[in-house]
Amino acid sequence: MKAIYYENYGGPEVLKYGEMPEPKVGPDSVLIEVAAASVNPVDWKITAGYLDQVLYSKFPIIPGWDAAGTVVTTGPAVRGIKEGDEVYGYVRLDFVHPGTFAEKIAAPARTVALKPKNLSFTEAACVPLAGLTAYQGLVEALAVRKGETVFISGGAGGVGTFAIQIAKALGLKVIASASPHNHDFISSLGAEAVTYGNSLIDEIKAKAPSGIDGFFDLSGGPDGHKPVELLKDQSRVASITDTTVQQYGGKYLFVRPSVEDLNALTRLIEEGKVRPIVTESFPLSNAADAFSSNMSGHTRGKIAIVMK
């Protein structure tokens, strides 16, 4: 099968496009013919070796944790998924070796769900990792309630675009930060836009004079924790970029595969309350360009990788 793979850590230049052996399908896995994948910052961070201390890596590595496609076969212990099902998933294992930037992937059944009927494969592949992060951050880590006000830092990116829409669907007032050229964009998703930088705190205060109930930190950075001062309860901060958040009472979140949460996202998508925003799409052979684009730090919505 055709795949993207690399044999040593590095930048986009280490990615090779070529033949790799088809994956073996373990008892609890399903073999998916991948129609599309999507790029997440973690893909190029792993490729650069930044996660080497926490994830065992077996080279050659096929990058990618998001996939959408059709089930070809199922392992003998799998129940509830059958050949021909159209599925999507956040296919993270506790090690890196076989990823989703390939024509086929053997995915543990615990990582995949039926894809939303109203999405193409390309759109569906852009949901799992970023959508689950947004969902688990708001629902679990922040335990948001209808009527509350949440501030989301980094509203225009992959996770941010899902977080804004999910928060709106849950009945929250949403304030989100982005560069000025993205203000109309995140407003169209339901956020009240503010600009990150020196005026951030004053801009949030102007929109929420009595303070905020939750702070979902998607961007980190040296001043990333500042909005904590606006929280009514200082423990209601969740970060996906800053592990030190725990030192001041907040929660660090590392997204986990969950069929239950994917099904919750599917419902929101099929009800028309949440949609993936796919702004760029690259053929599998051009995955290096997709990495480079995301490494700019200014991706709007999501970047897809399409197999055919």
Chain residues in the site for ligand NAP (CB under 6 A): 40-42, 130, 133, 153-154, 156-160, 177-179, 182, 196, 218-219, 221, 240-241, 253-255, 294, 297-300
Closer to ligand NAP by CB, 171 or 180: give it.
180
Closer to ligand NAP by CB, 76 or 297: give it.
297
Shortest distance (Å) from residue 80 CB to ligand NAP: 26
CA dihedral for 272, 276, 282, 287, sign (positive or negative)? negative
Closer to ligand NAP by CB, 27 or 221: give it.
221
The SS3 assignment for 277 reads coil
Give dist(CA 60, CA 300) in Å, integer.
30
Annotate 19-55 with DSSP letters as a single string. Answer: E-PPPP--TTEEEEEEEEEEE-HHHHHHHTTTTTTTS
Helices 128-135 & 259-270, crossing angle to 10 degrees? 100
Closer to ligand NAP by CB, 42 or 119: give it.
42
Shortest distance (Å) from residue 115 CB to ligand NAP: 20
Say which residue the tokens 């076989």 belong to.
98
Closer to ligand NAP by CB, 71 or 194: give it.
194
Shortest distance (Å) from residue 15 CB to ligand NAP: 18
Dihedral, CA atoms, 254, 259, 264, 268, nearest 10 degrees? 90
- Which is it for strands 214-217 and 149-153: parallel, antiparallel or unpaired? parallel
* Nearest residue relative to ligand NAP (C-beta): 157
What region does 249 belong to: left with phi over 0, alpha with psi -120 to 50, or beta? Answer: left
Give dist(CA 98, CA 78) in Å, integer.
20
Shortest distance (Å) from residue 241 CB to ligand NAP: 5
What kind and span of H or E run contains 133?
helix 128-135
Shortest distance (Å) from residue 129 CB to ligand NAP: 6
Shortest distance (Å) from residue 285 CB to ligand NAP: 22
- For residue 203, the Cα-to-chain-centroid distance in whole angstroms is 27
Shortest distance (Å) from residue 121 CB to ligand NAP: 20
